[in-house]
């Protein structure tokens, strides 16, 4: 059978595309996923169903790709969790549903992606959400599949209330709706978590579409490569149940994420010719931007002893701070997450966890193949903090967090002594830079490894509709398509991108 559309990756983007495109009963669609599938909400394991975040360390190995990356020359083997399950990373993430800000999309448009300005993407942010708090507002939606809510302040934990009080007294403004254009400051995070259940694309979009006769979902099959004939993608080769199988379609859409998509592309012979030749992959189409422009939100972890034990239904983050670094012309370029981590979440006991993060980094890294096998994960060289501006902002954020937590009276009875931090290096720029490089960590927002752009851009991989340059019938719709990251957790933006491109494919815009 030749399908109309074949989607590789049943994650944040893939499930939305599958659900929207099969609204047309004449379109036959095949959706492939490397991880397991759970057909009902009741059958979901706890690490998928409930509101635990990726840093918890409790995500089952069977639901994680097990990637590692090079954070800096002073820190190797950094875990890079990514979801390997129907639902993808939307099924394992921390459910912080922040949108990109208008300035992000102005930057995308300036790079030649004029159809991605904020006024063009806002309708799709609204279309996908059912905001329980602000759905009535003109910049929100109340009828979409993804439920969104915020914890009211009276439900915040003691650590969250102390953090908010310290931030307010430090002069940061109130931010009741962090997804309102122009917002900044301290306030509740929007969360795609309703009644303790993670609102992944599997339990929302895909659940609504599963019974359609024109949709076929195949799990536990790993895509090895795209099948190419005469400059056109005609399908894919997968490993399934110990054997090799081929599936064919008029259009193949890669939704395997910012790591999986460029890896599949390169294993198919599409990418930088010298890199492919190094690992014995025959070059089908030289496309130098594949795997380049690796973006993330670099961060470090600061931990203190926790003087109380969290109880009741626990969510990883309830309130957060976004702000603009001193001397920066990049609005909202910093974000701070804080959480009281329960004792039963790991092997180190409970602790107060603080994560100051560069929300739009200057630096970029690279993804390269290690071999010609899909079974060997690619080399992820993030190159965090090589840029001076990134180090300067991270130093400031570490000092700000340390001052607020160690000196503000709201934290008395909440935090004890430092468990992880720069200690004597705090006030020495050179020493603090060394500590940052040695402790650099992922913000879990890998993106931009197959960026969209103009054909004249030598590093652009696809056009504004995700169509890969030089290969007919092949499209990309996932975080790898972003020309740069957004100043937010990226899951809501990936969903928006899928809604927008699905509407275009369906001829709705």
What residue has token string 């100051």?
356
CB contact set of 402 (below 8 Å; sequence gap of 6+) = 302, 421, 426
DSSP string of 348-380, one letter each residue: S--EEEEEEEESS-S--BEEE-SSS-TTSPPEE
CA distances from 202 to 38, 199, 301, 373 (A): 9, 8, 31, 28
Q: Is 315 among the catalytic positions?
A: no
CB contact set of 217 (below 8 Å; sequence gap of 6+) = 10, 18, 31, 33, 37, 86, 206, 210
For 151-209, strand residue ranges (E) read: 185-188, 193-194, 197-198
R_g (Cα) of the chain, nearest Å: 22
Read off the pLDDT of residues 405-422 as tens digits, 9 standing for 90 and up: 999 999 999 999 999 999
414 within 8 A of 401, measured Cβ to Cβ: no
* CATH of region 151-188+299-360+385-439: 3.30.410.40
Q: Which two tokens stand for residue 479?
A: 């975080």
Read off the pLDDT of residues 35-58 as tens digits, 9 standing for 90 and up: 999 998 889 888 788 765 444 444
The crossing angle, in degrees rounded to 10, of helices 118-128 and 491-505 is: 100
The model's pTM is: 0.97
| Residue among 63, 140, 285, 445 flagged as catalytic | 445
Q: Tens-digit pLDDT profile for the chain (509 aa)?
A: 999 999 999 999 999 999 999 999 999 999 999 999 999 888 988 878 876 544 444 456 779 999 999 999 999 889 999 999 999 999 999 899 999 999 999 999 999 999 999 999 999 999 999 999 999 999 999 999 999 999 999 999 999 999 999 999 999 999 999 999 999 999 999 999 998 889 999 999 999 999 999 999 999 999 999 999 999 999 999 999 999 999 999 999 999 999 999 999 999 999 999 999 999 999 999 999 999 999 999 999 999 999 988 765 556 689 999 999 999 999 999 999 999 988 766 566 789 999 999 999 999 999 999 999 999 999 999 999 999 999 999 999 999 999 999 999 999 999 999 999 999 999 999 999 999 999 999 999 999 999 999 999 999 999 999 999 999 999 999 999 999 999 999 999 999 999 999 999 998 87
């Amino acid at each position: 059978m030749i399908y109309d559309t074949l989607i590789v990756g049943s994650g944040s983007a893939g499930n939305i595309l599958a659900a929207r495109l099969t609204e047309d009963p004449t379109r036959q669609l095949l959706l492939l996923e490397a991880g397991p599938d759970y057909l009902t909400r009741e059958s979901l394991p706890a690490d998928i169903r409930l509101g635990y975040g990726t840093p918890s360390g409790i995500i089952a190995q069977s639901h994680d790709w097990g990637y590692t990356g090079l954070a800096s020359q002073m820190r190797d083997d950094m875990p890079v969790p990514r979801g390997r399950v129907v639902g993808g990373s939307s099924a394992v993430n921390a459910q912080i549903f922040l949108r990109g800000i208008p300035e992000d999309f102005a930057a995308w448009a300036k790079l030649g992606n004029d159809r991605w300005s904020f006024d063009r993407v806002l309708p799709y942010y609204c279309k996908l959400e059912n905001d329980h708090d602000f759905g009535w507002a003109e910049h929100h939606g109340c009828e979409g599949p993804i439920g969104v809510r915020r914890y009211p302040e009276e439900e915040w934990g003691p650590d969250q209330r102390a953090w908010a009080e310290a931030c307010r007294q430090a002069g940061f403004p109130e931010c009741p709706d962090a997804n309102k254009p122009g917002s900044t400051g301290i306030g509740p995070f929007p969360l795609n978590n309703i009644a303790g259940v993670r609102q992944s694309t599997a339990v929302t979009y895909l659940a609504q579409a599963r019974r359609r006769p024109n949709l076929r979902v195949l799990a536990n099959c790993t895509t090895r490569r795209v099948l190419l004939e005469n400059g056109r993608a005609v399908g894919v080769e997968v490993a399934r149940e110990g054997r090799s199988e081929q599936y064919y379609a008029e259009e193949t859409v890669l939704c395997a994420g910012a790591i999986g998509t460029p890896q599949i592309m390169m294993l198919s012979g599409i990418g930088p010719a010298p890199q492919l030749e190094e690992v014995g992959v025959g070059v089908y189409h030289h496309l130098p931007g594949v795997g380049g422009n690796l973006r993330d939100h670099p961060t470090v972890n600061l931990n203190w002893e926790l003087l109380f034990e969290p109880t009741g239904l626990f969510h990883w983050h309830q309130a957060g701070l976004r702000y603009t670094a001193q001397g920066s012309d990049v609005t909202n370029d910093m974000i701070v997450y804080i959480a009281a981590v329960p004792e039963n979440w790991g092997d180190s006991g409970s602790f107060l966890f603080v994560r100051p993060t560069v929300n739009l980094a200057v630096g970029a890294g690279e993804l390269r193949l290690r071999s010609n096998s899909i079974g060997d994960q690619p080399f992820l060289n993030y190159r965090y903090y090589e840029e001076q501006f990134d180090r300067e902002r991270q130093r400031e954020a570490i000092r700000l967090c340390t001052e607020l937590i160690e000196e503000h009276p709201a934290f008395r009875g909440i935090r004890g002594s430092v468990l992880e931090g720069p200690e004597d290096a705090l006030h020495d720029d050179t020493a603090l830079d060394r500590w940052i490089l040695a402790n650099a960590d992922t913000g879990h927002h890998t993106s931009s490894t197959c960026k969209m752009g103009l054909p004249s851009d030598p590093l652009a991989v696809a056009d504004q509709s995700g169509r890969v340059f030089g290969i007919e019938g092949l499209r990309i719709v996932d975080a790898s398509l972003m020309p740069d990251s957004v100043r937010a957790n990226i899951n809501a933006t990936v969903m928006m991108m899928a809604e927008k491109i699905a509407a275009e494919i369906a001829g709705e815009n």
